[in-house]
Chain A
Amino acid sequence: MNLTELTITQAHNGLKNKEFSSVDLTKAYLEKIKKSDKELNAFLSVTEELALSQAESADKKINSGNFGELTGIPCAIKDAILVEGQKCTAASKILENYVAPYDATVIQKLKKEGTVILGKTNTDEFTMGSSTENSAFGVTKNPYDKTRVAGGSSGGSAAAVAANEACYALGSDTGGSIRQPASLCGVIGLCPTYGSVSRYGLIAHASSLDQIGPLTKNVEDAKIVFEAISGKDKMDATSTDYKFEEAKVELKGLKIGVPKEYFAKGIDKEVEKIIKNSIKKAQDQGAKIKEISLPSSEYALACYYIIGPAEISANLARFDGIKYGLSVDGKDLLDVYLKSKGHGFGAEVKRRIMIGTYVLSSGYYDAYYKKAQEVRQFIRQDFAKAFEKVDLIFCPVSPFPAFKIGEKADDPISMYLADIYTIPMKLAGLPGISLPVGKIGELPVGLQIIGNHFQENKILAIAETIEKL
């Protein structure tokens, strides 16, 4: 038995039946990381000492008989989520030596479950990007083709799960950062409803959009992790009193909406074929397929790249060289600010701070920021209308499979287009999953299933049904 190939449920059963211990499991993963991650670069740091001590505690818990599904299960955490006492860099030079002073709420919850933290995974700097090429510490390679990207920004988390370097991982999604790398690496990625998981301890990118979620080997595992990390948190005023409950839904009679705008232009023909084929399979099982229209779709990307950067320019003002992080000395206080940010931030982060500052500056606010807020409402209404007629929406995650490293690195707009199908529902705060449904050669392709607010249970139930077809 290869321990690193097991799903959470399989590993849990092995632990329960004493086929192996959590220390055995953890050592197997640490060994695997040592062997394959030099080339892959999914991890920015490996927390070996922490992992082994957590595994020992987990084994005690297991021997006592009182333990849960995540007890003793080794996971990887995106390096934008704080784990107390461990480095948290957000893949930025400005936080290269920053040590987290406390645990994020999701980490507190996972620690309570007795999970094992193997290390921190690569991301685009401050989670801004679609390929991890914006990481200050090198790109993560796609396990299926090492000349290609793993997607982003949670590319390290997706690659780690795909390459069996972790049993599951946490990522974060602002415009597609869980679902897109999941699609490109052939794993499950769930972006929960805005508010269902606490953002406390997640390094802020755009606070009205950021959401933490799981990347896993199968749908059942995503459900287990989501259930463990979700719920109201006093430390995040936007978190909601939410409790996951299984939904009994089946494909027979299910109304599935397919937005015609998502197949209009720019989609790779092979991706289109794979997605349409899985929609057909759902239809064969008795689902009712309805073409729907989301006329706001064509404005979503522009809307996102105004609202996102506006929030970024405010959120990243905190990196001033005074409280923590990189500080570059200057002749006066202003000079310290200018130099610390100038040296600490990479090109994409600077670009977004500049866009954000521009769209919020006097004279441009109405034309850009105010307009974008109106479009965001337009998008919400579009989805609300759609969900009056359908139960779930099926569409692609990404218009193309994993692209070559460097292919889009110099052209910001062509990179931004990578998230064209994951951004709209994000602006409406809706949940969505990426489910692997096919391959083009070696390269995986994910189907996106979008549900109404707090209907993760429906999404997961149907994803699990399709996974087994």
Chain B
Amino acid sequence: MISKEEVEHIAKLARLELTEKEVEKMQKDLSAILDYFNLLKNVPAIKMEKPASGKAVPWREDESKPKDAGLAEKLIAAAPDKKDDYIKVKAIL
């Protein structure tokens, strides 16, 4: 079974806060799912080809497209914390 510490480590990498109870349930569920993945050990050796489409997706040209000014307002309005036209974030340093 996957350890409590391992679950907590992965949760921190995923920026996910889990309760004690959730950690316990996650130990059980992740272990069962990872055990199921062991099936893949039986897969015959496969030589990888190029990606399915066979062609690389070309970079598109940069272009500046005018957008309705209202869109910027809507996007800012969606932010949970803001001041004037700025989105507020907690100090990083």
- Give the B-binding residues of A (Cβ under 8 A): 98-99, 101-102, 237-238, 298-299, 301-303, 305-306, 313, 317, 320-327, 330, 332-334, 336-339, 341-343, 345, 347, 350-351, 353-358, 361, 368, 371-375, 377-378, 380, 412-413, 429
CA distance A334 to B11 in the complex (A): 13
Q: In the assembled complex, how far is the CB of residue A24 from the closest CB belonging to chain B, in whole angstroms?
A: 33
CA distance A131 to B13 in the complex (A): 29
B37→A302 contact, CB < 8 A: yes
B78→A99 contact, CB < 8 A: yes
Judge whether B69 is part of the interface by a CB distance below 8 angstroms: no
We find that the number of chain B residues with CB closer than 8 angstroms to chain A is 44
Given known contacts A299-B40, A339-B17, is B46 in contact with A305 (CB within 8 Å)? no
B90 proximity list for chain A (CB < 8 A): 330, 332-333, 336
CA distance A99 to B18 in the complex (A): 28
A320→B15 contact, CB < 8 A: yes
Q: Which 3 A-B residue pairs are closest in the complex by CB-CB distance?
A: A342-B17, A327-B80, A324-B78
CA distance A306 to B42 in the complex (A): 16
CA distance A374 to B44 in the complex (A): 10
Given known contacts A324-B79, A345-B16, A361-B13, is B37 in contact with A368 (CB within 8 Å)? yes
B15→A302 contact, CB < 8 A: no
Q: In the assembled complex, how far is the CB of residue A209 from the closest CB belonging to chain B, in whole angstroms?
A: 12
B19 proximity list for chain A (CB < 8 A): 342
A338 proximity list for chain B (CB < 8 A): 12, 15-17
B18 proximity list for chain A (CB < 8 A): 342, 350
Q: Residue on A with the closest CB to B14?
A: A357
Out of A101, A325, A334, which one reaches B15, CB within 8 Å? Answer: A334
B17 proximity list for chain A (CB < 8 A): 338-339, 341-343
What are 25 inter-chain pairs, A to B, with CB distance below 8 A?
A98-B78, A301-B36, A302-B37, A302-B40, A303-B40, A313-B14, A325-B78, A327-B80, A332-B90, A333-B91, A337-B15, A342-B16, A345-B16, A354-B10, A354-B14, A357-B13, A358-B10, A374-B43, A375-B46, A377-B46, A377-B52, A378-B46, A380-B52, A413-B32, A413-B36
B33→A333 contact, CB < 8 A: no
B40 proximity list for chain A (CB < 8 A): 299, 302-303, 368, 371-372, 375
A323→B37 contact, CB < 8 A: no
A351 proximity list for chain B (CB < 8 A): 26, 29-30, 33
A321 proximity list for chain B (CB < 8 A): 80
Q: Residue on B with the closest CB to A102?
A: B71
Specify the main secondary structure of chain A where it touches its partner.
Answer: helix
Contact with A along B34-53 (1 / 0, CB 8 A): 10110110111010110010
CA distance A29 to B43 in the complex (A): 51
Judge whether B22 is part of the interface by a CB distance below 8 angstroms: yes
B57 proximity list for chain A (CB < 8 A): 237-238
User: A302-B37, A336-B90, A375-B43 known; 19 other A-B pairs, CB under 8 Å?
Assistant: A98-B78, A101-B71, A299-B43, A302-B36, A322-B89, A324-B75, A327-B81, A338-B16, A342-B17, A347-B22, A350-B18, A351-B29, A351-B30, A354-B10, A355-B30, A357-B13, A358-B10, A368-B40, A412-B29
A325→B32 contact, CB < 8 A: no
Q: Residue on A with the closest CB to B52?
A: A380
A298→B39 contact, CB < 8 A: yes
CA distance A334 to B36 in the complex (A): 33
Q: In the assembled complex, how far is the CB of residue B76 from the closest CB belonging to chain A, in whole angstroms?
A: 10
Given known contacts A101-B75, A338-B15, A354-B14, is B39 in contact with A333 (CB within 8 Å)? no
Q: In the assembled complex, how far is the CB of residue A332 from the closest CB belonging to chain B, in whole angstroms?
A: 6
Contact with A along B44-72 (1 / 0, CB 8 A): 10101100100001001000000000010
CA distance A298 to B26 in the complex (A): 25
A354 proximity list for chain B (CB < 8 A): 7, 10-11, 14, 16, 26, 30
Q: In the assembled complex, how far is the CB of residue A240 from the closest CB belonging to chain B, in whole angstroms?
A: 9
B33→A305 contact, CB < 8 A: yes
CA distance A53 to B46 in the complex (A): 56
CA distance A84 to B56 in the complex (A): 33
CA distance A33 to B7 in the complex (A): 44
Q: In the assembled complex, how far is the CB of residue A249 from the closest CB belonging to chain B, in whole angstroms?
A: 25
CA distance A341 to B57 in the complex (A): 33
B79→A322 contact, CB < 8 A: yes
Judge whether B92 is part of the interface by a CB distance below 8 angstroms: yes
CA distance A325 to B80 in the complex (A): 7
Q: In the assembled complex, how far is the CB of residue B10 from the closest CB belonging to chain A, in whole angstroms?
A: 5
Q: In the assembled complex, how far is the CB of residue A335 from the closest CB belonging to chain B, in whole angstroms?
A: 8
Most buried by A among B13, B14, B48: B14
